[in-house]
Structure 1
Amino acid sequence: MKKSWLSPRPILCQLCDQYLKDIFIDGKTSRGPWVIMCAGCHSMEGVGLGIGKGQKYDLTTLEKMKGNN
């Protein structure tokens, strides 16, 4: 079963307000709340990937991506 993003396609990172490129992460931040973030903000503010941490999606296909990066 493929796992896809079901909400409207996100456009901006909710942390830095820059346009998303290639991928986005729906994830928990070190500050607590969950946000849609770019890879750069995730590397600085994210708590990781996986259940209870965050999920990475391809911005073009909206398919969930495998891996921990």
Structure 2
Amino acid sequence: MDAKTAFDTKLKPKLEESFGADLTTSVLSTHAGRLGINPAALAEDQYLQLVDAIVQDARVIQMWGEAKTKFQAL
């Protein structure tokens, strides 16, 4: 599976399920912008950088807890 497909079918839906569309957009925008990544044209290394940043986000850790956050990243 390529990075864009993984983003669209795994990462984004998983976040939306827990956070809703608005907060998901905020989390993704925050980290994509900070990393200089365009989610519409993700390379595999960029996808991995984005996932790594998201699982370190305090909002994500607060919602899922540390153990689940690490598990969800897999």
So what's the TM-score if we normalise by structure 2? 0.29
Greater share of helix = 2
More strand as a share of residues: 1
- The TM-score with structure 1 as length reference comes to 0.30
